[in-house]
Amino acid sequence: MKLQSFKRINLLFLTLAALFIATVVSPPGTAHAASYSPIHLLVEDDYVSAEQGEAVVIDGTTYVPLRFISEKLGASVNYQAANRTIQICSPQETEAAVLQISTTNEPPGVFTRKGVSYIPVRKAVEALGYQVDYRSKAPLVRIFLNSATTTDQVAQTHAKALKQNLNLPAWVPKPTPKKPGKVAYLTFDDGPSAIQGKIIEVLGKYDAKATFFLLGDQVKAHPGRATRLAAEGHALGMHSMTHDKDLVYASPSSLINEMKAAQAQIKQATGSSPSILRVPYGSKPYMKKPLRDALVNNNFNMWDWNIDSKDWALPNDPQQIIENIKTGLQHVPKGEPPVLLMHEKQVTLEILPEVITLLKEKGYTLKAYHPEHHQVVNFWNDSRL
């Protein structure tokens, strides 16, 4: 782009400019663990002290304060809020240097610390016709236009300053632990059925893990299916023996007996005893306090769900099941991971790739239930479970 006029930028404007950048960029990122080190800065034949403007190398790229570049090099700066860029124009070039403002306020890109905007120096000034000389030993970076003096001569002149220790700038961010990604849980009830093997194959193909709430009598009839589930890294939980609400909910002791019997079958097939269970038809309305107390006293955890696919009721309407899941995803209670209720059904097998893709596109990792990462997901909001 052609530039008509250049004028020296005054400090007030640049202060406003820094504020502008600080406003348009988002809060500092959460997980940047870059390597930072300070570096001496020479401009033309001058040494620039840290008080005048700190230069810093971040992940191999040298950054300098924008203000400093404008003042020392007489460049003008334009801010384009619409496309989040800065244009730097120098008196001797007709092309502007265009720099992207960081969206996270972290390098790479233009970022702001303590009211000072930093720019990647090479990208900024080489486009403006300046030369950048970088000496890793000193370490120093020199910016100059047409100097008769060599960098070594300039360095000689400022030998005393260059011998000073460089202190790490006060704003060096501490590496923060990576924020754990979002997790969603696929759950399949009423198995292990004949179709389970195909469900497992699809899950494997998409590198997704799931949780299967199994009926004890089904496990007893097909222990190999439960064994395979465990072997492939899926989680197993109890879903009673009989699935008969008149029996399961008859009393606290019948509930516990159903779950313990199912747990014993799983133990026999897999070698481990899960603590997680899901009661038939969900915990409302049957799981009143005495029944929940019984689960707590027997060290069980109980999961309902927060997304009902209704796959059991829609064997011929796969599209509606997908819609139910999409709608459900928008209404997951705050603080809970999405827990999808599905069943070992033919229609569920058919839509499974689409469901997994949908969740992955929304940034979810599909994991199996793990007791160490237990979160409360039940209709009674009973935090004991």
* Binding region for Zn ion (CB under 5 A): 189-190, 280
Of 190 and 304, CB closest to Zn ion: 190
Of 192 and 280, CB closest to Zn ion: 280
Q: Give residue number: closest CB to Zn ion.
A: 189
Closest CA to 342 of 382, 305, 287: 305
Tell me how far, at minimum, the Cβ of 309 lies from Zn ion, in Å: 13
Closest CA to 115 of 170, 37, 47: 170
Of 189 and 304, CB closest to Zn ion: 189
CA torsion angle 257 235 300 253 (round to 10): -10
Residues designated as active site: 189, 343
Of 221 and 231, CB closest to Zn ion: 221
Q: List Cβ neighbours of 4 (8 Å cut-off, separation of 6 or more).
A: none
CA distances from 382 to 105, 135, 181, 287 (A): 41, 63, 26, 11
Buried-exposed string 150-168: b where 16+ CB fall within 10 A, e elsewhere: ebeebbeebeeebeeebee
Tell me how far, at minimum, the Cβ of 193 lies from Zn ion, in Å: 11
Of 18 and 295, CB closest to Zn ion: 295
Q: How many CB atoms lie within 10 A of CB 366?
A: 20
The answer to whether 259 touches 302, Cβ cutoff 8 Å, is no
Tell me how far, at minimum, the Cβ of 310 lies from Zn ion, in Å: 13
Instruction: Say which DSSP state 331 is in.
Output: T
Q: Which amino acid is at 124?
A: A
Beta bridge partners of 131: 144
The answer to whether 243 touches 213, Cβ cutoff 8 Å, is no
